[in-house]
Structure 1
Amino acid sequence: MSYLMYLRKSRADKEAESRGEGETLARHEMLLTELSVKMGLEIGAIYKELVSGETISARPKMQQLLVEVMQGMWEGVLVMEVERLARGDTKDQGTVAEAFKFSNTRIITPMKTYDPSDEFDEEYFEFNLFMSRREYKTINRRIQRGRIAAFRDGWYIAGTAPYGYEKVKHKGDKGYTLQIVPEEAKIIKYIFELYTAGELQEDGSYAQFGSYQIRDRLNELSVPSRSEKPWSASSIVDILNNPTYCGYQRWQWRKVQKQMVGGKIIESRPKDADCEKVRGRFDPIVSEDTFNLAQKIKAGKPLPINTSTALQNPLTGLVYCAKCGNLMTRQPSNTRLRYAVLRCANSKCSNISSPLSLIEEQVIESLKEWIPEYNVEWPEQTEHEGETTLTVLENSISNIKEKLNQTKKQLNKTFDLLEQGVYNLETFQNRRSTLDSQKAELEEELKRIETERNRIISIEQARRDFIPAIEHLIEAYWEVEDIMTRNSMLRNVIDHIDYLKTERNKKGAGNTANFTLNIFPRIPENR
């Protein structure tokens, strides 16, 4: 058996790279390759891990390595240090140790070769894993203390700079700070101005702007976001909530929290409005008064009527805009509208929204029209006739497969006859060309008959299941109160729906269904 080479970049490696010591993985690969040549080892594969995760669950290549080691696929694993294999908790360390021990897979490093069957090597290996974990904890505490000290001293320690700033190295110091990007700063000021003061209208009044209106205004003006994508309402809210713009920075605003759910550790990053804040070593874009005013306005806005996270749209994932192709989404009722509407998620699209309940009613009415339509398209056919057709097609498929296998055997034999000298090169090429053509014709015929067989099976299944499913849906739909169940019932018979509305309803005619629904059934296209 051959050997596996495992390469992983650590935090210390990144620091070394920043000092100009070269790319870590390339340097380690060269050293381990030289070691394998010196020891006469055959390298069967090289796994490179570019993530510096604390646990095995965050390292997909390490997971693959352990599975293959436990299956006994490798004689040994080459790695720069034992610490590269596991620096996680005792559970991870035990997993690694057991995998190598029970599969009797060797661990080869430039300093030492560990033989799991040797008692002393096993103890030394486990001791190294334990010490690597302690070292990791020590390094992590030191780094965290340094980060907290730098944060409280005003240095910017986050990975990327928010919109309106760029991250720059402070001359003469190790820390980073923020520098204002003038073009982006103008947009930040404009966002806070629209939110806190509104915009002067022709009649002399000021129109109040929320996150959705600000989003639409920026997209109408073609203001570029940092990602070059259209602005979203959530990004506007994040800007309005970010104290960086008034000169402060946050610590552990979205601290990672771990929970045990179903036997697995699940990580979440909830927002903490009461996290620690300090004055940063950078200039603010808006005044502190303006920022605080924005927070007061936001706190004074009414909460949505229904804050439940349960599904509230029975047409979720089904209705698409016929103009731009985007998924239609539910917009809850507000002070102007007393009902939820279905609207296109694209703020630049001119497709007009309609009440969600009205669209839902029209979908069910359209399904009622399907029953006589599809009964006409599918004339009565006895079960015996369908079975006879399928039997004939299955026999044809079996015969073609037999001929195809025989042709493949003949094709393989031509190579043997060439090697034995029975065929000269010209005879071999002619014979091979004939058999290749015959093989291609049989494969094409097999594909055609299998397609026809599958089409008939689909028709029979649709005939047997589709109409009864629609009839059951129409009978039971309005009796079901659970929105998720309604959505599941619709998805069972509908593939998707195209929605189009070009004219707004006249006053007093809000319940008029002046829109078009093109409903695509979830059945085979070739009936």
Structure 2
Amino acid sequence: MYVIYLRKSRKDSDLEALGIDVLKRHEETLLELARARSLPIGAIYREVVSGDSIDARPEMVRLLSEVESGIWEGVLVMEVERLARGDTIDQGRVQRAFFYSNTLIVTPGKTYNPAIENDNEYFEFSLFMSRREYATIKRRMQAGRIRSVKDGYYVGNIAPYGWRRVKADDCKHFTLVPDEKENPVLKLMYDFMGNKKYGFQKTCSALTGMGIVSRSGKPFNPATVKTIISNPVNIGMLRWNYRKSQKAIVNGKIATSRPKADDYILAKGKHPGCISEDLYYRANSVNSSMTAPVKRSCRIQNPFAGIVRCSCCGRVMVRKKMSAKQPRDYLICQYAGCATVAIELDELENAVLEWIRNYIADYKVNNFESADDSEQESLRSILVNLEKEKETTLKQRGSLFDLLEQGIYTKEIFFERSTALEDKIKDFDKKIESVNADIVRLDLSKKNRSTFVPKCQELLNAWDTFDAADKNTALKNVIERIDFTKTEKNARGQRHSSFSIDVFPRISR
């Protein structure tokens, strides 16, 4: 059985510009090739996403996994270059998968057999040249983008908020014009931030109160507003390579980040700005209470960072630092339109510690280990009975052949009884597998719980000696997440809030 793999290449863009469906044309070509060579086709994988690496292409990941498992006798593809254009590691993954599984690569021009040394070497060389070609094309395209930006043309695929992307006068490049619906909202943001001195949160609340939502149809959040008003495109400038992708090896895998760069390109755009420079800088100088992500070089100041979620919107709640008006730290849901009310960090901390104390006391009173032992014993009894019934059924299956030879069963009855017994045996196998899984799960749960309670006790004993970062680490060792609910503000002078928490420990009860 063979499989067809289809993927577009950058050199297909000219054909697509003429309205030609490249993947459909390739599919027809490969199906005709399979028909001419009498190759049975079991599946067709169409790669509709583009990516530099194999991991960024889900259909290729799936194909490689199946090739390594030896499912396919061969893969039909237009060119071997379409299998991998990634780095040396990606090329090695592809070559190793086809070589060790002895899977053929069938193209309209040649069939590659990894078991033949010459074919394998030519396949390896083709992948290497493909990578060289890809790197050259990518370098030229990037140089072209930089040249276009410096000439004042917009090279992004999606226009910034408040703008529309249109063809420039030369009919080759793109520029920006104000969007009829979004541009008035953009100017309103600058008015709130630059003239009325609103913060990001207050600006979001004002927009939500006016029924204005973002492109996604959701209320604006502080991070989105900050990104929009800090974009120099609004004063007629173009910024490029401000958030360049940087790759690093993390736990043996490639991780991509997009930190802010200092060496970005800032050029005068062909489009006129819609905001004055004075208003632009006033709006961006407003101090915000919006919490920024913690830098890797800084210690965490929020003991509940990444743990507490708002029960209304499901988002992670963040710490609001103390100020002259607020002498205590608070935990807030910073998204406009959410009904959740802030709570003092100390108050929430006391509630979580109390939950841990109650869990330990409940564990000792209810004796969960004894209940686990009883349930495991019951499951083992069920397992013994199932295995006995399966053994009886297997004996019945063996006696079928005797009954057929003795003429007691006709062939029709034999096949009917044989099918019924096979179904019964499969059902026993499923039940036995399920019971075994439950026994393993209970055993694992018992072992985890035996270590979970001591972890909780250690946390309580050392809590007062921890700083915020240590508290956060200790909490994450025993708690998966906390859902926080509070929809009523405290009365003036009231210290104790009306709220509730749903704690999800890292061990089932």
Class of the TM-score when normalised by the shorter of the 2 chains: 0.7 to 0.9
Deviation at 1:504? Answer: 2.0
Q: Which residue of structure 2 lines up, in the alignment, with residue 363 of structure 1?
A: 352
| Residue 156 (structure 2) aligned to one of 135, 155, 158 | 158
Whether the 8 Å CA contact 1:316–1:487 is kept in 2: the answer is: no
Q: Which residue of structure 2 lines up, in the alignment, with residue 478 of structure 1?
A: 464
Counterpart mapping for 1:198-237 below 5 A: 198=196, 208-237=197-226
Deviation digits for residues 326-361 of structure 1 (CA, Å, limit 9, x no counterpart) = 543322224432332012344323443222022212
SS of residue paired to 1:77:
strand
Deviation at 1:62? Answer: 3.3
Letter in 1 for 2:388: E
2:112 and 2:77 mapped to 1: Cα distance? 11
Q: Which residue of structure 2 lines up, in the alignment, with residue 184 of structure 1?
A: 182
| Residue 499 (structure 2) aligned to one of 489, 497, 516 | 516
Letter in 1 for 2:219: P
What TM-score comes out, normalization by structure 1 length?
Answer: 0.78
Q: Which residue of structure 2 lines up, in the alignment, with residue 203 of structure 1?
A: none
Whether the 8 Å CA contact 1:11–1:52 is kept in 2: the answer is: no
Counterpart mapping for 1:278-293 below 5 A: 278-293=267-282
Deviation at 1:72? Answer: 4.7
Change over 3 Å in CA distance of 1:125–1:395 after alignment to 2: closer
Q: Which moved more, 1:453-462 or 1:495-504?
A: 453-462
Deviation digits for residues 210-238 of structure 1 (CA, Å, limit 9, x no counterpart) = 21221121122220211111111111111
Whether the 8 Å CA contact 1:311–1:483 is kept in 2: the answer is: yes
Letter in 2 for 1:216: S
Q: Which moved more, 1:114-123 or 1:349-358?
A: 114-123
Counterpart mapping for 1:482-521 below 5 A: 483-489=469-475, 492=478, 496-500=482-486, 502-507=488-493, 512-520=495-503
In the alignment, structure 1 residue 348 sits paired with structure 2 residue 337: yes
SS of residue paired to 2:181:
helix
Letter in 2 for 1:128: S
Whether the 8 Å CA contact 1:407–1:439 is kept in 2: the answer is: no
Whether the 8 Å CA contact 2:247–2:257 is kept in 1: the answer is: yes
Whether the 8 Å CA contact 2:54–2:60 is kept in 1: the answer is: yes
Whether the 8 Å CA contact 1:314–1:486 is kept in 2: the answer is: yes
Deviation digits for residues 419-477 of structure 1 (CA, Å, limit 9, x no counterpart) = x993698999899999989998x899989988997998799779856665544433332
Q: Which residue of structure 2 lines up, in the alignment, with residue 45 of structure 1?
A: 43
Q: Which moved more, 1:268-277 or 1:482-491?
A: 482-491
Q: Which residue of structure 1 lines up, in the alignment, with residue 382 of structure 2?
A: 396
2:241 and 2:475 mapped to 1: Cα distance? 44
2:181 and 2:321 mapped to 1: Cα distance? 35
In the alignment, structure 1 residue 195 sits paired with structure 2 residue 181: no
Whether the 8 Å CA contact 1:151–1:157 is kept in 2: the answer is: yes
Change over 3 Å in CA distance of 1:67–1:427 after alignment to 2: closer
Deviation at 1:33? Answer: 1.2
2:74 and 2:261 mapped to 1: Cα distance? 47
In the alignment, structure 1 residue 13 sits paired with structure 2 residue 2: no
2:269 and 2:312 mapped to 1: Cα distance? 47
Deviation digits for residues 161-207 of structure 1 (CA, Å, limit 9, x no counterpart) = 01111112346612222221122111111111111111xxxxxxxxx
Q: Which moved more, 1:485-494 or 1:222-231?
A: 485-494
Whether the 8 Å CA contact 1:321–1:328 is kept in 2: the answer is: yes
Q: Which residue of structure 1 lines up, in the alignment, with residue 230 of structure 2?
A: 241
In the alignment, structure 1 residue 338 sits paired with structure 2 residue 321: no
Whether the 8 Å CA contact 1:196–1:290 is kept in 2: the answer is: yes
Q: Which residue of structure 2 lines up, in the alignment, with residue 271 of structure 1?
A: 260
Counterpart mapping for 1:118-129 below 5 A: 118-129=116-127
Q: Which residue of structure 2 lines up, in the alignment, with residue 201 of structure 1?
A: none
Instruction: Identify unmatched segments of 5+ residues in structure 1.
Output: 199-207
2:291 and 2:409 mapped to 1: Cα distance? 88
Q: Which moved more, 1:455-464 or 1:90-99?
A: 455-464
What TM-score comes out, normalization by structure 2 length?
Answer: 0.81
2:418 and 2:80 mapped to 1: Cα distance? 58
Change over 3 Å in CA distance of 1:329–1:443 after alignment to 2: farther
Letter in 2 for 1:357: D
Change over 3 Å in CA distance of 1:221–1:402 after alignment to 2: farther
Whether the 8 Å CA contact 1:470–1:493 is kept in 2: the answer is: no
Whether the 8 Å CA contact 2:238–2:268 is kept in 1: the answer is: yes
Instruction: Identify unmatched segments of 5+ residues in structure 2.
Output: none
Whether the 8 Å CA contact 1:70–1:100 is kept in 2: the answer is: yes
Whether the 8 Å CA contact 1:326–1:345 is kept in 2: the answer is: no
Change over 3 Å in CA distance of 1:298–1:35 after alignment to 2: same
Whether the 8 Å CA contact 1:466–1:493 is kept in 2: the answer is: no
Deviation at 1:285? Answer: 1.8
SS of residue paired to 2:242:
coil
Change over 3 Å in CA distance of 1:279–1:483 after alignment to 2: closer
Whether the 8 Å CA contact 1:400–1:446 is kept in 2: the answer is: yes
Q: Which moved more, 1:90-99 or 1:275-284?
A: 90-99
Change over 3 Å in CA distance of 1:431–1:122 after alignment to 2: closer
Deviation at 1:128? Answer: 3.4
1:305 and 1:263 mapped to 2: Cα distance? 25
Deviation at 1:269? Answer: 1.9
